[in-house]
Every structure is written in structure tokens, then in C-alpha cells.
Structure 1
């Protein structure tokens, strides 16, 4: 029997613990001799990342297959065919060194030197060097006391532990080198401040053993995001026409768009080592067209979607004998490692991450929301969004009540929302609270022009787009206009805080590991890491010429304009958005009379990985909304709000 009860008071089996159990996810999927390998986060094991082959863990705790390059990390492992047999190289989080082991006798030994300081040397985007004798990768070296004192090189690590060899340098940022099939040349992607990798990069090629390289594609307004070899040619995802399309580049540097489409086949290089395409053979390539698996045919110059039960794929593609392997998900299915036989259409799931499995979503199918993909109209154009209405088969709200809604702001801000199962979202929708995930101007997946709507407009376009969507839902009667809230982490935390201090749309907001003072994110500000230390040049304007703009848009300078209560969440080991800014913001709130809470978490970096942290954060957020929006959620501790 369906019970009538106010929104926010519904009981739900989608507990914070269930959401935490599903919070690790699979990553860095690849193939070796037809067998799938991947990494898998383990919230119940303190957030460590395990290396898995065909469903079997290869390394016990405390081995943690993860690295800090760019602070977001990069591809942390590679399988090598050596003269002595199969070997695996990986980066270990605790000391950031590269280790080597035999998968049939896993006793890892370091092959990179010990750093002089904690995490003073870091490695990522591991690939095989010539002859199975070396690991080639990106090396970060800490050169001083500040977060921006970093140098990067492409290096070769001999498997016998001999000293590393520098292969190339020249750009401040570089991807791992890709060795040509004949072993004579290698390619990589490089870029420099103040550009970010989705602004403009250079595709470089060098002869093995030579210190010189030449640029064959890219530039200040063209962003190459992936490169692979195909015989003598290079295959590169790049966007000279405003969309990441696949190009073939011959040895003379002549590039041809293999299938011109106004769809994004690539994505932003937040991490090193993503693969948005993989070659099938015969002029055919598996690609991701705006997140959907597709086949690009060079002869017909077409991109054809593949109809598959899990429609959203991540940038982790690999191909072997006509079988595509990757990480895929659906609206009611968590991200899983899957393989698709293109000749038969048979989809095989290699992990148990689904609603019928043994992970956090097991048995919850009836309580999961179905996203509605919609497009709203704002002052700067279309605003795509995914609307998740409240859903619980055991409850409905009184006829006169309109549900509260949370506006979810993705991070980046050069990122996007995907219509896949997220138990954090289901945690709220199954209790009668709607969620809308907004792809505001600046999001990826819609071409360069949409992405550049945010150029020098961060804190304006994103704020306006989110408010436009929230108000539209209220105006049409989908949401209660008096019970709108906003939530976000990282760059989404900035937009959440900026919204609460500049528009009157929301009653309250959750702000997690945020940017709050934009001046701290300049090259001299010292309050963020090197990778993003000049990101705000494009998002806000040149520093210090536009210093007034930085101050005006920074929530840290507008605490007196807050329109409602705030919940702050912060990891104390965060090097991307360190706790200093959240500390100051919370201190400024004390004594203002504005209800607020500030929760910090030991041992957490950027984004939460530990089960206990995820549980505490979700339950605190639900209690916070209940106190502000006027309902009493059952079964969660009451969050203490200060004034």
C-alpha cells in the first residue's frame, strides 16, 4: 500500500551506507592478450584502489594503485611483455614510486628511485618502452616548497631499477609517450600555462634518441586530447573545427578528418591516459560519441551508434579481435567493466556493479530514479539538464505539496553530468527530494563554442544557468519554488557558494571542497595545485589586470550577501582545493546568525573515498536540508548548526 507522507520524510532502503558501498567504482580498464584488467576503488578498505585481472585481485592491501600526477592522477598501471615473461608496473599511492611484479607471483619491487621528500617524484600514464625493457611515462618532480613548484619530464624507467632516462621535456604539461610500432618514433601531447588541455595543446613527434621534436597538430586554439599510432600514421582526436573528431595524420604532418561530425568524440584531459577511441581494424574504430559507443568507418566517413543495454561509456576503450572492452553504465546500472562482441552484439559484464548484484545498489531497482533529459532556455542559449524526480514505490506526497529540489552542479567547471546511476542522487530522490543536474555553459560534450561560453564568465554564466533551470522547474510546478537548494563540490562548490551570494533563488546550499577566493587560484596565490594554478585566467580574466572582477565574484568576499544557510564539507589532505579557504569562510560565518556547519575529514583528499566519510557527509546533508526546508528525515543524526 502506498503511504501519503510529506517529501523528505520517506523511509528508503537507499541508505548512506549503500551509497558508500557503491562509491568506489571501476577505472582504468584495459586489455592484455584478450583478458580485461582494471582498477577498482574500495571505500570499505579506506578508499584504496585495487588492481583486478578478470575479476581477481592481484595485490592485497595495503597496495594502492593510484598516483598524484596533476593531483587528479593518471593511468597508474601497464602490463608488459618482457623477455622474462609478463610483468606489471604500477604506481603505489603511499610513496608514489613505480613498482614491478610478476602477476603469477606478485611480490612488487620498486623500479623508480626513492624521492628525497614525501611524494617528491610522481609518475603517471605508464606505457611500454621498446623491447619490454622499460616503462615510459610522465614524471613530476617537486622542485620547491609551494604547490606550484613542479617540473615534468617524459622518462624511461628500466625494469632492472637502473637510473631513469629523460626522453623529452619542453612543455610544462605532457602526456605519456606513445612509441611507434617500428620503435623509431614516439608521440605525446604537450601544453603550457595559462592554457588548459581543452584550450590548446600541441601534438609532438620525436625520433627515439633525439632531443628534438616537431609539432604536427594542435595550437593555441586547437586541443588534441588523444593520440595513438596506426602504422606510420598517427590517429588523433582534435578539434580544429570546434568538435573533437578523429583525424589521421601522415608522416608529413598532413591531417584528414576521418568522419566530420558535430559530436564530441573526445573529452577534457583532466587525467592522463583516457582513451576515447580504439582501433578495430580495416579502417574501423570504436569511438565515444558524446559518451555513447559508436563505430567510425573511414571508408564511409560515418559515425554509427552501437545499440547496447548500457548506453553511457567512459573514456577507457580497448579492442581485441573485434571485442570492445570498457567501463559502461546506465540510468539504473552502476559503472561496470564490460566487453561487447561487435560481430554478435553480445554484451558480457565482468564486474558485479548492477542493481541485481552484490554491491551497493543490490535490490534497489524499484527505488532508483529515471533521469529525464531536458533542455531549458537561458539568456545565453540552451541549457541541457537531467531531471531526477522524487521516486519511491512505497510513498507519494500530499496532492497540494510540491517537492523540494536540489540543483546539482558538476565540477570542473569543464565537466559534465552523465545520465547514469548515482546512489547519492537516489539517496535524496527516494526520500521525496528531487534533483536536477545542470550542464551549464562551459560544460563539455557540446562542442567548443558551448565550452567557451564560460570564458571570463565563471561565476556569471554558470550561476545564471543553474538559477534559470531551478526557476523553470518552480514555474511549471515541478518543484517548490520556496524549497530550492543548490549543491556542488570543487568547481561545483564555487558555483554553489557564488549562487548563494549573488542570486535569491535558493534557500540553502551544500558546498564541498570548494574554491571560495579566486585570487588564491592565480599563479601567485598559492592556494591550489600547479595544474589549475592559472585556470582562472581563462575563466575570470588576466591577473592582476582584472583583480576587481576576482574580488567581486569570490564568495569569500560576499559572506554578508548570503541568502541562506550553508553546509561546508572539506577533506583535510586536499591539495587541489586545500582547506585554507573553507577554514576562512567558516570562520567568517561564525557570529553572523546564518545557520551553518563545517565538517572536515581526516585522510581525505579531493573528493571522498572512505566509506565512513561518504556516510557522514550524506547523512549530514540530508539533516541539513530537513532543518532548513521544513521536514524531519527519519533515521539520520541531527546535524548541529551553528550561528
Structure 2
């Protein structure tokens, strides 16, 4: 029989440790002949990123010798940190950001010494060189310089610049016969989901590029993942018709392969992203998203027909193919992320190769996401997923409604997913209702929906998270007096803005979030240094707007408790943002807490810190909303706590 207990106080088998113990983050799968590779970021090893290989006999082994970590910090977010061919690995090591050749356990530096970062590696075997994006940090006081370079694989390490002049580059790719070359580039103030240019060039006999021309992209068009087919034709994804769809370059124009009101791409926050690849000369394996769900499909290039593949997954990414088989990362609401092999001709089409967690949680304790579209206060629509509180061991008193936790995804150009999210299940299994919002500006709903946040950050997203919470309260699914909001990075800004400029929420948690838009415009890294030009307006020309939308400037309007969770080494949103907000709240006498994490940057990678952050947030809500968590949690110092009740 279920025990009656207040919402928030339920004991749950989904602990903070469930998120870190026996878990890894899987990324960057690759195929090399019969061998399969991927990266594992391991919280148990302080976030060390290890390259793993699975051979044809099923033998799995770590490729990266201890204690090295494979990770590039190009654009700060990294990605595209290795490539492999014929068993030889070329990878970027986190310790010095140089490229190394890895054979067996022997590492040999390929790139020369210098303050550079490398990403998006691709091998030019015929010319015995490695082509990649290089980010130069060599000129103090000036913006980092991005280029596409070729690095000789002999002992000379001779480096040759192939493309320069743009602010950013990605996706340098060589045609199968080595005679053509493509890449993406873009310039401030655009982000890659705003406007990119796809360039095509010929490769001369001496390895230089010639006859370079733009074939797609430009103003108001985002091109994603240009890639060569086995027959030498060039494919890419473009949103020129509102939706990110697949195209093929004919030599004179781009033709649509399959028009669908769906997105075959996702925001290019990191290098090396892949939503499609070639299963064979006439077949593409691809993933696309509709209404918040990701699907897997085969595209017949001969007939232009798209056939959905039933996988049971609702979150799919990192599609790679080779040797007639495909790889992808996939998860759903009940199961953690796995690396899957897709063998179209085999009796078992889908085979799990690696798991992000040793076990899945007991499904009896999982809350299933329910898609939700709601009217916003300004008369439009926004989307999200509602998770009701759920724990078979407990029921709440009949008259009580659950506290609500509204979640704001990062970016803000991003999207929430329906894959198993243990952070969400941590809350629902303790008696919280959760609303995970895809506010206007999120991806997955077309370019026009994505652009609703242009010039409106801190306005439209705030309206949407508040409207979603109010809709649930009106339906009796949440207690309007116990609504909290949480978010990290850009989501942390939405949290602070919602708490400051609206009165829907009674508490909030900002994880490495932004309180001062002016400080962010001045202090953040190159990749996002002009991001706010489109989200808010050009700075300093629009300084008044920045001040108007910065919570730190309107602290007199913020009347409820906030907890701040912050990495001390964060270069994207520096700690001074959280510290300034804490000082202002403390001076005003409003309850607040600050938990700083040494050796953490933008996002927490170390197991103990991930656990502490989650438990600290639960403790904080317990103090604010007047319930006692069942968990044994180290108390968090809360300034002005006595003034809450």
C-alpha cells in the first residue's frame, strides 16, 4: 500500500548518485573497417574523455592511454576531436590542445607547439596530411583567428593555410577522389543556425584550393553538414524553405531530396555533428525531428522515398555509416542513451554496442512525458513536455497539489528532448510536477519559430515559461503558490529574468546563468561574442535594452529566493555573474544561496559536483516550500533564510 506523504518528501530510488555512478556520456561514434570507436566522458574520472574501440570479435578496450583525455576546446564547446583510418587515430588531447597520432598506446605530436586549438579533423591520405579547423590564440588582446589548415603527417609538422578570412569555419571535407573540397564558414554577428556559407573548391596538384565559390547559404539561410556521397556528389542540409531539409548539389543548383515539415538538423553548437550518412551508393540513413520527437529513416536516393525505421527511440543523434552498417546514439523516455548499430540486412536490425549507464532505472518510478502546446500570454503558441509526479510507493494528501518545477533548456537556441532524463525523474519521483519548455526560439519547429526569439530574448521566452506554468496551475496540475524555475547557462538567464520581471514563480535555481547581459556581451568567448546582437540588439548601440532586460539592474523587482550553482573556471559565463547577483540579493535581504565548484567550467563534469549540485537544489526547495526531503543531504548555507517563512 502506498504511503501518504507531502509532495517533495517522497523517498525515491533515483538518487543524485544515480546520475553519476556507473554512467558515462557517449559521443562522436566512428567506423573504421570492422572496428567501431566512440568517446566516453566519465564523471568517475573527473570528466576524462576516453576513446574506446570495439573490434569485430566484440573485444572492447580503451584506446586513450591513462591519464590522457581526448577533448578539443575550439569554440570552447569543442567536438570533432578525433578521426581514425586503418587503425591509426589522430586526436586532440585536452592537456595541451595539440593533435597527436595514436598507434597502439604510443602518442606522437603532429601539430606544432603553439597556442592553438584544433577540431573537425579529416584525413587526406593521398597527400599525407591532416585537414582541420585551427583556432589561433597567439595574439594577445585580439580575437582568436579561425582558419582551415593542412598539417603534414611527417615529422616536419608543416602547416599550410587552406582557407582564412571568415570569423568561423567548420566541416572541412575532401571528396572521395581527393579532387574537390567543401567547407562551411560564417561571420559575426551570425551564429551557424542564422547564416552559414557552403563553399566548394577544387584541389590543385600542390594541395591548395582553387576556384572557390559559394554554392549555398548566405543571408537568412543556415546550411548544416555538407558531406560527400560515395559517388562524389555533394549533399547538405538547408533551411531555405523554413525547415532544415536535405539537398543535393547538381553542379549548378541544389535540389531538394525530400521536402518535409521536419528538421534534419540541429543547432551546430559543436564540431562534427551528423544527422545523416550514406548506407550505400543510393541510400541515406538519417534522423529528423517533428513535434519534439526524433525519428530514424532511410532515404532512397533513386526514388526520393523516405521510409521510417521503427526503433522505439525518441531522441536520436550522431548518425554514422560505413561498411553497409550505421551507428547512432539513441534513447527514449524509459531507457538511457545507447550507441546502436543498424544493420539493414541482418536478422537483428538494431544492436546495442555501448550504454551510457550500466542499468536503466526501475520503470515503475518513471514519469512519462506528455506533449503540451499552450497559448502564450501574448496570443501565440509554445510547446513543452509535462511530467506528472509519479512514485508507486507514495500518494499525496488528497487536498494537496504538487509543486511545479519549470525547466529552461540552454542555448537559448536549443531544444528539450524526450529521452530519459534522470534529472527530471529525480524530481518527479519525489513528488514534483515538471514542465520542460520548448519556448519560442527553440529548434525543431522550423526557422520561423526559431527566429521568434530574435530581438526578444528575455521577453518571449519569459512569457512562454510563465504561460506554461500558469496553464498547468489553471488545470489543477500544479500548486500556483509553489512554482519554481530552473535552468543552466542561457536557461539560467531565462530563470533570473522570469523571477525578476514576472510574478509566476516563488523560487528559482540558476546554474551558471546570466544576470547581467552587458557583462556577458563584454566578457564571453569569441563564438558567442556577437550572439546577443541578434537576441537582444547590437552592443553598445542598444545598451539601454541590455540594461532594461538585465535582472541585476532590476533587483528591486526580484522578491523570491534563488540558489546559484557555478563553476569557478567558467569562461563562457564567468563566476562574477553569479557573485554579483548574490551580493545584490543579500544586500536587499532576499534569501539566496551560492555553491561554487572548483575545477569546473561551463557545465559540471565531475561526479561529486554533479551530485552536490542536484542535492543542494532539492535542499533549497525544501527550505523554501516547507517540506523535508527524504534524502540525507548536507545543508546548504542560505542567506536570510529566516525571512522565507
TM-score, normalised with respect to structure 1: 0.94
SS of structure 2 residue aligned to 1:21: coil
Q: What is the number of residues matched between the two proteins?
A: 622
User: Which residue does 2:312 correspond to in 1?
Assistant: 309
Question: For 1:220 and 1:550, how far apart are their aligned partners in 2?
Answer: 25
Question: For 1:224 and 1:409, how far apart are their aligned partners in 2?
Answer: 26
Question: For 1:27 and 1:281, how far apart are their aligned partners in 2?
Answer: 23
User: Which residue does 1:77 correspond to in 2?
Assistant: 82
User: Which residue does 1:152 correspond to in 2?
Assistant: 146
Q: Tell me, yes or no, if structure 1 residue 199 matches structure 2 residue 189.
A: no
User: Which residue does 2:119 correspond to in 1?
Assistant: 124
How do 1:286-305 and structure 2 match up within 5 A?
286-290=285-289, 291-305=294-308
Question: For 1:90 and 1:493, how far apart are their aligned partners in 2?
Answer: 33
How do 1:185-584 and structure 2 match up within 5 A?
185-208=180-203, 209-210=208-209, 213-230=212-229, 231-252=231-252, 254-290=253-289, 291-314=294-317, 316-343=318-345, 344=347, 346-353=349-356, 358-359=358-359, 361=360, 363-378=361-376, 379-522=378-521, 525=522, 527-584=523-580
| Residue 353 of structure 1, CA deviation | 3.5
**2:23–2:356 Cα contact (<8 Å) kept:** no
Question: For 2:568 and 2:183, how far apart are their aligned partners in 1?
Answer: 34
Deviation per CA, 1:469-496, whole angstroms, max 9, x where unpaired? 0000000001111100000000000000
Seen in structure 2, the aligned counterparts of structure 1 residues 462 and 22 have a Cα distance that, compared at 3 Å, is: farther
SS of structure 2 residue aligned to 1:638: coil
SS of structure 1 residue aligned to 2:528: coil
**1:99–1:112 Cα contact (<8 Å) kept:** yes
Question: For 1:337 and 1:114, how far apart are their aligned partners in 2?
Answer: 35
Structure 1 regions of 5+ residues with no counterpart?
Answer: none
Q: Tell me, yes or no, if structure 1 residue 612 matches structure 2 residue 608.
A: yes
User: Which residue does 1:166 correspond to in 2?
Assistant: 161
Deviation per CA, 1:426-477, whole angstroms, max 9, x where unpaired? 1111111121100000000110000001010000000000000000000000
Alignment root-mean-square deviation, CA:
1.6
Seen in structure 2, the aligned counterparts of structure 1 residues 212 and 602 have a Cα distance that, compared at 3 Å, is: farther
| Residue 394 of structure 1, CA deviation | 1.0
Structure 2 regions of 5+ residues with no counterpart?
Answer: 55-59, 641-645
User: Which residue does 2:637 correspond to in 1?
Assistant: 640
User: Which residue does 1:5 correspond to in 2?
Assistant: 5
**2:171–2:226 Cα contact (<8 Å) kept:** no
SS of structure 2 residue aligned to 1:392: coil
Q: Tell me, yes or no, if structure 1 residue 59 matches structure 2 residue 61.
A: no
**1:517–1:555 Cα contact (<8 Å) kept:** yes
User: Which residue does 1:587 correspond to in 2?
Assistant: 583
SS of structure 1 residue aligned to 2:413: coil
| Residue 262 of structure 1, CA deviation | 1.2
Question: For 1:564 and 1:145, how far apart are their aligned partners in 2?
Answer: 42
| Residue 375 of structure 1, CA deviation | 1.3
SS of structure 2 residue aligned to 1:240: strand
| Residue 514 of structure 1, CA deviation | 1.3
| Residue 211 of structure 1, CA deviation | 5.5
Seen in structure 2, the aligned counterparts of structure 1 residues 90 and 258 have a Cα distance that, compared at 3 Å, is: same
Q: Tell me, yes or no, if structure 1 residue 603 matches structure 2 residue 604.
A: no
Q: Tell me, yes or no, if structure 1 residue 141 matches structure 2 residue 130.
A: no
Question: For 1:480 and 1:411, how far apart are their aligned partners in 2?
Answer: 25
SS of structure 2 residue aligned to 1:569: strand
**1:278–1:317 Cα contact (<8 Å) kept:** yes
Question: For 1:135 and 1:386, how far apart are their aligned partners in 2?
Answer: 44
Question: For 1:241 and 1:591, how far apart are their aligned partners in 2?
Answer: 51
Question: For 1:640 and 1:132, how far apart are their aligned partners in 2?
Answer: 61
Q: Tell me, yes or no, if structure 1 residue 625 matches structure 2 residue 625.
A: no
| Residue 303 of structure 1, CA deviation | 2.8
Seen in structure 2, the aligned counterparts of structure 1 residues 158 and 380 have a Cα distance that, compared at 3 Å, is: farther
Question: For 2:611 and 2:179, how far apart are their aligned partners in 1?
Answer: 52
SS of structure 2 residue aligned to 1:589: helix
User: Which residue does 1:89 correspond to in 2?
Assistant: 90
**1:143–1:149 Cα contact (<8 Å) kept:** no
**1:293–1:311 Cα contact (<8 Å) kept:** no
Question: For 2:284 and 2:109, how far apart are their aligned partners in 1?
Answer: 36
Seen in structure 2, the aligned counterparts of structure 1 residues 29 and 220 have a Cα distance that, compared at 3 Å, is: same
Question: For 2:305 and 2:445, how far apart are their aligned partners in 1?
Answer: 19
SS of structure 2 residue aligned to 1:272: coil
**1:235–1:246 Cα contact (<8 Å) kept:** yes
